[in-house]
Amino acid sequence: MPSHNLAYIKIDEMEIIGYSVAAEETVVAMPQLDVCFDIGKAPNQVISINNILLTHGHMDHAAGIAYYLSHRNFCGQSPGTILAPENLLGPMREIIDAWSRLDGNKIPANLVGVKAGDEYQIKPNLFTRVFPTKHSKGSVGYSVIEKRKKIKPEYATLTAPQIVELKKQNVEIDYPLEIPIVTYLGDTQYVDFSQLDYIAASKILIAECTFYIDEHADRALAGRHMHIGEFAQLVRKLNNQHIIVTHTTQRTPMSQIRRILKDEIPADIYDRIILLMDKRRK
């Protein structure tokens, strides 16, 4: 499948590659975390990523699942893991079976059904946590969280032999620390995501904001997407260092989107925003 040019963003050492235009295609990969949020039409650049985190079943977000699996199989790679809302697993299996029959080769798949509140381990210290969104039946978003153990302050000055001694005595000298790296909202209408502290504190927020002009407020409501007014309200409540805006509509030119964002959002927050599909960025 020919791949179009994907957008490329680098935040500190973290790379984000993707493409996201409403109704056309949405796929956002973070290779260092080995995750890809939604799969779009499975562009070649994301095939080697082992964990696909699917938010909902709309065609523009999920069309590439069979191609992703089939191409990995063709290249001798493992099937990887596709996390998806559990109500989608039946139809996903049917579509993979149908493609297996069309193709003449069984397509191996590892599908994991998820629901809000679930956690899934990606790497030894890296987990994804699933939360509910308001878009389609069972739709979810994902945060990727690093979990570390940190030594309790009262033991911070101990020497190595003293620590060994305490461990022998089964003394808990450390406590679990969670570092939310990124949150991906997928498609959703406004929800007060600040109620979930790991979303509010995520270093990077990847959020949809589909519609920008007043006349499109009805479209936002009907499609269960966010309108600029709601997006502005949401980002004010969160503390993310970087906000990547996805799922922009082609109904509004990028220069106008940029201008409206600047008008609607306080300058200190606007400075943290990157429009994924904006070739000019700022």
Q: Is the dihedral of CA 161, 162, 167, 173 positive or negative?
A: negative
| Nearest-10 Cα torsion for 234, 251, 248, 136 | 70
Residue with tokens 């878009």: 135
Please give the Cα distance from 82 to 227 (Å, whole number): 29
142 or 203, CB closer to Zn ion? 142
133 or 183, CB closer to Zn ion? 133
- Residue-wise DSSP of 34-46: TEEES-TT--GGG
**Residue 224 binds to Zn ion (criterion: CB under 5 A):** no
Judged by phi (left if over 0) then psi (alpha if -120 to 50, else beta), residue 28 lies in beta
Q: Which two tokens stand for residue 113?
A: 């059904």
Q: Which two tokens stand for residue 177?
A: 């620390």
Please give the Cα distance from 134 to 164 (Å, whole number): 49
Query: Shortest Cβ distance from residue 167 to Zn ion (Å)?
Result: 50
Amino acid identity at 26? T
Query: Shortest Cβ distance from residue 140 to Zn ion (Å)?
Result: 12
Count of residues binding Zn ion (CB under 5 A)?
2
Query: Shortest Cβ distance from residue 188 to Zn ion (Å)?
Result: 9
- Residue-wise DSSP of 55-123: ----HHHHTTHHHHHHHHHHTT----EEEEEGGGHHHHHHHHHHHHHHHTS-----EEEE-TT-EEEEE
Using the rule CB under 5 A, give the single segment among 50-58, 112-120, 151-159, 191-199 that binds Zn ion: 50-58
Query: Shortest Cβ distance from residue 58 to Zn ion (Å)?
Result: 4
58 or 272, CB closer to Zn ion? 58
Site string for Zn ion, 109-148 (x = CB under 5 A): ----------------------------------------
88 or 181, CB closer to Zn ion? 88
**Residue 219 binds to Zn ion (criterion: CB under 5 A):** no
42 or 201, CB closer to Zn ion? 42
Using the rule CB under 5 A, give the single segment among 39-47, 57-65, 190-198, 244-252 that binds Zn ion: 57-65
Question: Phi/psi at 142 (nearest 5 deg)?
Answer: -135, 135
**Residue 187 binds to Zn ion (criterion: CB under 5 A):** yes
Query: Shortest Cβ distance from residue 63 to Zn ion (Å)?
Result: 12
25 or 187, CB closer to Zn ion? 187
Using the rule CB under 5 A, give the single segment among 62-70, 183-191, 192-200, 273-281 that binds Zn ion: 183-191
Query: Shortest Cβ distance from residue 248 to Zn ion (Å)?
Result: 14
Please give the Cα distance from 97 to 87 (Å, whole number): 17
59 or 177, CB closer to Zn ion? 59
| 105: Cβ contacts below 8 Å, ≥ 6 apart | 70, 73
Indicate which single residue of 58, 71, 147, 251 sits in contact with Zn ion (rule: CB under 5 A). Answer: 58
Query: Shortest Cβ distance from residue 133 to Zn ion (Å)?
Result: 10
Query: Shortest Cβ distance from residue 173 to Zn ion (Å)?
Result: 47
Residues that bind Zn ion (CB under 5 A): 58, 187
